Amino acid sequence: MIGLCLGLAGAVWAELPTPAFTLAWTHTIEKIRWEEDYRVTADGLVLGEARVKGSGAGMEIPDGAELRNGSWHYQRQLPPLQPLRVGRTPEAGDYQLCIDQRCRPMSDWLGPPQASQPVLELWSCELSSPAADAG
């Protein structure tokens, strides 16, 4: 079964048996929520819709975005990401991982962000066991 792996340089720190997820975070300067929806495929993570509550430093609203329910909704055409690399530091706060509309801090699976590990990778992977815990 294909699922979502979290880790770095191919070392798996957590496995989640999910076909889709939303990665969410709060911009460190503007304090505005940002969300990206991904599908987990054999080729990698496919970005679907993204949403941002407003614009600001490094957060320009893309052309073609639509304002709905207080957020700008847009889509970017990117090839599957394998892996998706994100910065994760104590100063920036933690990401949220949302599965089936239920959001939890990334630290629920990985512990709090550490200055000694400022990067996290997410990728699609063959799960090592069907009992992998989605939480």
Contact yes or no for 2/40 (Cβ under 8 A): yes
Share of the chain above pLDDT 90, in %: 62
Report if pTM > 0.85.
Answer: yes
Contact yes or no for 51/59 (Cβ under 8 A): no
Closest CA to 52 of 65, 39, 64, 43: 65
Q: What is the pLDDT of residues 8-21, one digit of tens each?
A: 988 899 999 999 99
Per-residue pLDDT at 111: 92
Consecutive H or E run containing 108: helix 107-110
pLDDT in tens, the chain (135 residues): 999 999 998 889 999 999 999 999 988 777 888 999 999 999 999 999 999 987 776 668 888 899 999 899 999 889 999 999 999 988 888 899 999 999 999 999 999 998 888 999 999 999 986 554 545
